[in-house]
Amino acid sequence: MKSAWRGAIVRVLFGFFACLFFGMLSEKTFLLLFLYTLGLLCYQLYELYRFHNWIRRSGRSLPPDSTGIWGDVFDAVNRLQKKQRKSKKRMQQALARIEESTSALSDGVIMADNTGRLEWWNHAAGDLLGLVKPVDRGQALTNIVRTPEFFRYFSQKRFGDSLIIQSPAKEGSYLEFQTTLYSKNDHLIFVRDVTRLHLLEQMRKDFVANASHELKTPLTVIKGYLETLDMFKESLPERMQKGVHNMSTQSNRMELLIEDLLLLSRLESNQRADSDQWHNVSDLIQVICDAAKVFKNSEHYLTWDADEESAIYGSYSELYSAFSNLVVNALKYSPGGGEIDISWQVNQDGGVFRVQDNGLGIDPRFIPRLTERFFRVDKGRGSDTAGTGLGLSIVKHVLHHHDSKLEINSQLGFGSTFSCHFPRSRVQHPTLPEVVLIDKDAS
Ligand code: ADP
């Protein structure tokens, strides 16, 4: 390249001095220099014209023959274009391979922009959701999957958990949606047919609900006879008295277990005992504490603090159940004389119901498992109170129904704090702006 420039400069200077020399000899310096400059300009224009012509045909043909700097320019551009064509081809091949492999996936893959409009999807997604190319390209996904659950999941960006709903394209099928945001909040959505799993899960729930329900009648009969025996216990031999007492304790425990299982089944199948309404939090806590005081004959110091003007939006029976489970747990797992502090606090993010005790505490490694069904940290511990291991599972489900979260902090031997965080939309307080409720099921 350097030599081409050197040659060109030498040629121009040689021409210039030659014109100057002959111009001085013939006394027509200016004319000769003018003609020389014009010639140079015409030559450059001609080469530029050839370059423009070649490049306009996207440089597919061979470059025009040329020497000097222009020859070098033609060669360099030609090389660059060849390289570009090669990498474009490679990228197209890679893209085709990715498309081929995602098309072969049995799970659906959908790409939607940040507003949720469909950009691309594979065959499986097309089959699962009944999408048609190119008609549905650019359509909002919420216009295609028109269920309130999906609308809530997608518009409120609840992508932490997957969502299982009935397929909009095939009756009786269930689809699981898993969404990830990428790049500029664009959506990458995986869709899976989970009909078989869903039916199995449904069978399990039905079995637990039916079995619990069926157990209720025989248990009531057994409890009735035990109560009769208890009435005449004086006439029974001492060993029998002890047996009757044990049987009564166990049947009470069984009754609790069945009630908890039935409640859990109802919560899991989204059957609401009562509709969501505004409830005064202070009144609710007062009722729970009055009931709790009877428990363990009030060996504990129970204090509570809740603003009388604060209200919470939800199902009364579910909230009662969740809050009282936490309070009863604090009593159960604190030795006599323990201090239990119940509070309700409102802030700009919502409301927090908190139960704090200075009881046994929990080993941190067990905390993630506490809300599992039947999980008990130490089956021997607190056996006098004989819990079911379902309490915190119920709390978790109730909070899920109320778009809320459970936070557990505990230190073994120093007590525990259970906090239920409710969103702003479910909390009312004179210091907070009025909440506009959206009828979610209608959306
Ligand atoms: P349970 O009926 O056994 O109380 P839960 O689901 O309510 O079942 O609680 C699960 C386990 O969590 C309990 O068995 C207990 O070991 C532990 N736990 C719950 N609350 C407390 C608490 N306040 N202090 C210490 N341990 C607790």
The pLDDT confidence band at residue 99, using thresholds 50, 70 and 90, is confident
For residue 418, give the CATH number of its domain: 3.30.565.10
Residue positions counted in the chain: 443
Final residue belonging to a domain, choices 244, 268, 292: 268
* 240 in the same domain as 162: no
Q: Mean pLDDT throughout 403-410? A: 95
Distances (CA, A) of 198 to 176, 195, 373: 10, 5, 19
- Type of residue numbered 251: S
**Does residue 370 line the site of ligand 1, with CB under 6 A?**
yes
Residue 435: DSSP 8-state: P
Cα–Cα distance, 168 to 147 (Å, whole number):
8
* 308 in the same domain as 391: yes
Q: What is the 337 CA–ligand 1 centroid distance (Å)?
A: 19
**Does residue 389 line the site of ligand 1, with CB under 6 A?**
yes
Q: Mean pLDDT throughout 82-107? A: 90
Assess whether pLDDT exceeds 60 at residue 381.
Answer: no
Final residue belonging to a domain, choices 173, 193, 213: 193
Cα–Cα distance, 342 to 344 (Å, whole number):
7
Q: Does residue 433 form part of some domain?
A: no
Total structural domains within the chain: 4
**Does residue 360 line the site of ligand 1, with CB under 6 A?**
yes
For residue 134, give the CATH number of its domain: 3.30.450.20
Ligand 1 atom index nearest CA of 260: 2
Q: Mean pLDDT throughout 323-342? A: 92
Cα–Cα distance, 424 to 402 (Å, whole number):
11
* 413 in the same domain as 291: yes
Residue by residue, DSSP assigns 194-261 as -HHHHHHHHHHHHHHHHHHHHHHHHHHHHHHHHHHHHHTGGGS-HHHHHHHHHHHHHHHHHHHHHHHH
- CA 173-263-160 angle, 5° bins: 50
- pLDDT at residue 55, rounded to an integer: 85
- pLDDT at residue 441, rounded to an integer: 46
Pocket test for ligand 1, best of 259, 296, 333 (most atoms within 8 A of CB): 333
Helix (H, G, I), strand (E, B) or coil at 425: helix
* 123 in the same domain as 172: yes
The pLDDT confidence band at residue 298, using thresholds 50, 70 and 90, is low
Q: Mean pLDDT throughout 384-408? A: 89
Give me Rg for the CA atoms of the chain. Answer: 40
Q: Does residue 443 form part of some domain?
A: no
Q: Does residue 441 form part of some domain?
A: no
* 281 in the same domain as 424: yes
Q: What is the 321 CA–ligand 1 centroid distance (Å)?
A: 15
Q: Does residue 436 form part of some domain?
A: no
Final residue belonging to a domain, choices 211, 233, 268: 268
* 203 in the same domain as 151: no
Q: Does residue 240 form part of some domain?
A: yes
Range of the structural domain that residue 242 is part of: 197-268
Q: Does residue 40 form part of some domain?
A: yes
* 84 in the same domain as 20: yes
Q: What is the 327 CA–ligand 1 centroid distance (Å)?
A: 11
* 203 in the same domain as 156: no
The pLDDT confidence band at residue 273, using thresholds 50, 70 and 90, is confident
* 91 in the same domain as 177: no
* 283 in the same domain as 418: yes
